[in-house]
Structure 1
Amino acid sequence: MNEKAHTNIVLCAAPFPPKNSTIMFLKEERNIAFELMPTLTNFLEATPLLDLERGDSKVLADLFRRDGQPGLTISKELGGRGVRAVNMAQLHTWIGAHCPSLAVMMTMHHHTVAGMMAGSRFFPDIQDLLSLVAHDKLLVASGFSEGRPNAHILESKMTVEKTLDGYIVNGSKKPCTMTHNFDLITFGVNHVDPEGQTHIGIGVGFAGDSSIERKKFWSVPHLQAADSHEVRFNNLVVPESMMCFSTAVDDQLDDAQHGTGNHLFAIWFQLLASASYLGMASALASRALSCNKGSQDDRAMLLIDLQGATMALRGLAGSIDEKRFLRSDLARAQATRFSVQEAVHRISTRAFEILGGMAFMSSEDVAYLLVVTRLFAFHPTSRLASTPFLCEQLS
């Protein structure tokens, strides 16, 4: 066997390109990952993908908490890093390529924290909480979207009752990533005051509260390390200081701005989720390109889709960095997400076909990555639910 043929076989059989190298076309993303979290980046490069994905979720959570900088999207004034959305998208793409479950964890944490940071002008009391997250490296679970069609991300079916001690919350969230590993959990609430006025707000619960119950929910092997199960709130008492209601969203904004408080979280989510799943597809594409299999046209189409999706996300991230969170911006964010979702589907399918049956039979991570890329379609919002809104805003 000649040396060149031997090299090709090694590349095709390895879960990722050799250590101390980088997945093709993710060089900028890798540089950002090393700049923001060098210890975690080194660990992920040195550890096989399936060892991470089938391991204990607590290991990933502890790594995220200790080395992953939970305060990346929090302003420097509040103790965070103040990282731009453009760089957050690059980071999530790199993490998604190396550990899909951690990318999902980080998506839920960062979109929540970034949404709160951007929304602090609507919810000024939340700045103290953000400072706590940054200084104490706390992980925040997202208890917002409940998978209901045509519902805003902060809308909730949880019941909220005002008492002398604050508010009593009942209900559940499933799936909830980091179920057993979060330090704080945030959730959307809709409170009706004695005058019949509905107030949209954000509530916060602490992991050690005995009123928070966890139930096993996720039963499939894919993304199991993300620890996505059910969280139940059984008469959870939330003090006034941990329940933040918007004083502006409903009555002080014009039609174009209405709902901005909701859009902050949704736009950030679409960016980070899209970047994470693009990273997963990139891992498959890199294997296919490294093996030098398939036609030149097949390889070119992989690169075209990867480049197009990357540039689309950079455009969305740029609008976030410009603090654009109106209804029209939400529509563009959703359109970008669905465009990237389609690209991820094409990339993973084409890469899987290029790699062929021998790679499927000899490398479990190939099949694993193909399946996890498909899970992007299950994240909110659904294309069907978004269609009327997109037609209204984009046509």
Structure 2
Amino acid sequence: MFLQEERNAAFELMPEMASFLETSSLLDLERGESQILADMFRRGGQPGLTIAKELGGGGVSAVTMAKLHTWIGAHCPSLAVMMTMHHHTVAGMMAGSRFFPDIQGLLSMVARDKLLVASGFSEGRAHAHILESRMAVEKTGDGYIVNGSKKPCTMTHSFDVITFGVNYIDPEGRLHTGIGMGFASDPSIERKKFWSVPHLQAADSHEVTFNNLMVPESMICFNTAVDDQLDDAQLGTGENLFAIWFQLLASASYLGMASALASRALSGNKGSQDDRAMLLIDLHGATMALRGLAGSIDENRFFRSDLARAQATRFSVQEAVNRISARAFEILGGMAFMSSEEIAYLLVATRLMAFHPTSKLASTPFLCEQLS
């Protein structure tokens, strides 16, 4: 059966939510209130899946998370985007907790209280890397004062904790890149409407502004603190933790959206046998590429060469998603397009994968350096 392994993962990890999604209208979910999806994610979606069992989480592997995100993407694209932003951030924090033990307390809280964590990385700027930031960071005696904004920021009105990229220049002129964290209840955090297109609007992606947000030392983690514990070949691991997890889960989510289109074409036995075979080839090729990337994550491989492979996998899957959705759209035909809004919606939604970090143009020199 199509997406059977992915379905099994969803029903094993979150049976009530999976059952609801499977019996709901995709467009009703996409056009409904984002708070409904956030509440469902918090209540039945297990926000602590990627957190270690000893911290109260699910300890779920990257391979299983890829399956889950593909299935969610096929049934509710906006929820898949929400879950991508939450899980890649939490998984990155989990992987980095051996360098920053203080994070373990927050991770335990996320798992215990089912907190939703927003990803304030990458500020919608062309060709920027995931942790690059324009946030103004000022050192004080009690920590750091942060000013700036993040847009778009998924789960703008629903997050409990928000993470964001920070670039701090110390008194010696050295640049320190890392992540900071704040709580939704802080009055220094404001929200403004930003997303104005109908696609993925239920993901609640608007603007979050920080107005003199006070962040204590324990809530900011700099890459230099990671690099100081590693050798030269491992430098950059602090950023890679988040970037590699993001490429996996975002790619899996958008593959799910393309799979939803392919499923409609295949179930209707539309097109020629060659057309259907090409759909299946692209689907299985992309799936296996993601399984390989997930396997390397489960082996704790987060070096520069692993980041390059993750980016290459993402761009390979992105091209496959474009081919799958275009071919399925053509196979389904004009009558299906005119009679089902879902088909046109899914086609456009799959194209939004290209807008997530990092851009192909920004990655090209790095990929040529690492892969050639």
Match of 1:287 in 2: 264
Partner AA of 1:371 in structure 2: V
1:376 is matched with 353
Compute the displacement of 1:252 (Å): 4.1
Aligned residue in 2 for 1:274:
251
Residue 343 of structure 2: aligned partner: 366
Tell me by how many angstroms 1:247 deviates. Answer: 5.0
Are the counterparts in 1 of residues 138 and 144 from structure 2 also a CA contact under 8 Å? Answer: yes
Q: 1:363 to 1:151 in 2, by over 3 A?
A: closer
Determine which of 297, 300, 306 is the counterpart of 2:274. 297
Deviation of 1:104 after TM superposition, in Å, equals: 0.1
CA distance in 1, matches of 2:369, 2:108: 38
Q: 1:344: Cα distance to partner?
A: 0.4
Deviations 1:54-101 (A, max 9, x none): 000000000000000000000001110000000000000000000000
Which residue of 2 is the match for residue 34 of structure 1? Answer: 11
Which of 151, 163, 170 is the equivalent residue of 1:193? 170
State the match for 1:255 in structure 2. Answer: 232
1:102 correspondence with 2:100:
no
> Which runs of no fewer than 5 residues in structure 1 stay unpaired?
1-23
**Displacement of 1:246 after TM fit?**
4.2
In 1, the alpha carbon distance for the partners of 2:351 and 2:127 equals 22
The one-letter amino acid paired with 1:130 is L
Residue aligned with 2:182, SS = strand
Q: Which has the larger radius of gyration?
A: 1
Match of residue 137, structure 1, among 114, 118, 126: 114
Displacement after TM superposition at 1:150 (Å): 5.1
Cα distance in 1 between the residues matched to 2:227 and 2:127: 18
Taking the aligned partners of 2:366 and 2:143, their CA distance within structure 1 comes to 36
Q: Distance in 2 between matches of 1:99 and 1:106?
A: 11
| Structure 2: distance between partners of 1:227 and 1:105 | 8
Q: Distance in 2 between matches of 1:351 and 1:65?
A: 33
What is the CA-CA distance between 1:208 and the residue it aligns to?
1.4
- Output one character per residue of 1:161-193: Cα deviation in whole Å (capped at 9) or x when no partner: 122332110001010000011000001212223
In 1, the alpha carbon distance for the partners of 2:250 and 2:186 equals 29
How far is the alpha carbon of 1:154 from its aligned partner?
Answer: 2.3
TM-score (norm 1): 0.92
Equivalent in 74, 81, 94 of residue 58 of structure 2: 81
Query: How many Å separate the matches in 2 of 1:300 and 1:258?
Result: 43
Q: Judging changes above 3 Å, is the alpha-carbon distance between structure 1 residues 151 and 360 closer, same or farther for their aligned structure 2 residues?
A: closer
Candidates 290, 315, 321, aligned match of 1:338 = 315
Query: Which aligned pairs between 1:178-257 and structure 2 lie closer than 5 A?
Result: 178-257=155-234
1:67 aligns with 2:44: yes
The range that moved more, 385-394 or 123-132, is 123-132
CA distance in 2, matches of 1:306, 1:25: 10
Q: The residue matched to 2:234 in structure 1 has which SS?
A: coil
Distance 2:283 2:148 in 1: 40
RMSD of aligned C-alpha atoms?
Answer: 1.2
Counterpart contact for 1:93–1:277, Cα < 8 Å? yes
Change (3 A) 1:332 1:246: closer
| SS class of match (2:232) | coil
1:317 pairs with 2:294: yes
1:21 corresponds to which residue? none
> Scaled by the length of structure 2, what TM-score is found?
0.97
The 8 Å contact of residues 73 and 82 in structure 1, kept in 2 or not, is answered as yes
Q: Paired residue for 2:145, among 165, 168, 177?
A: 168
Q: Which residue of the other structure, out of 331, 335, 356, is the alignment partner of 1:354?
A: 331
How has the CA–CA distance of structure 1 residues 385 and 171 changed in structure 2, closer, same or farther, with 3 Å as cutoff? same
Tell me how far apart the structure 2 counterparts of residues 96 and 372 of structure 1 sit (CA, whole Å). Answer: 10
What's the CA shift string for 1:110-157, capped at 9, x where partnerless? 000000101112222111111111110000000011234554422321
Equivalent residue letter for 2:87: H
Aligned twin of 2:305? 328
Note the C-alpha offset of 1:245: 3.1
What is the CA–CA distance in structure 1 between the aligned matches of 2:366 and 2:256, rounded to whole Å?
28
- Are the aligned partners of 2:33 and 2:202 in contact in 1 as well (CA < 8 Å)? yes
Deviation at 1:318, TM superposition (A): 0.2
Look up the match of 2:132.
155
Q: Distance in 2 between matches of 1:190 and 1:126?
A: 19
Q: Is the 8 A contact 1:53 1:101 kept in 2?
A: yes
Partner-residue secondary structure (3-state), 1:200: strand
CA distance in 2, matches of 1:35, 1:385: 38
Cα distance in 2, alignment partners of residues 37 and 113 from structure 1: 18
Selected match of 2:2 from 25, 31, 40: 25
- Give, as a single letter, the amino acid of the residue that structure 2 aligns with 1:284: L
Partner of 1:90: 67
Which of residues 95, 99, 106 in structure 2 aligns to 1:122? Answer: 99
Equivalenced residue count is: 372
State the match for 2:31 in structure 1. 54
Amino acid at match of 2:222: F
Q: Which runs of 5 or more structure 2 residues have no equivalent in the other structure?
A: none
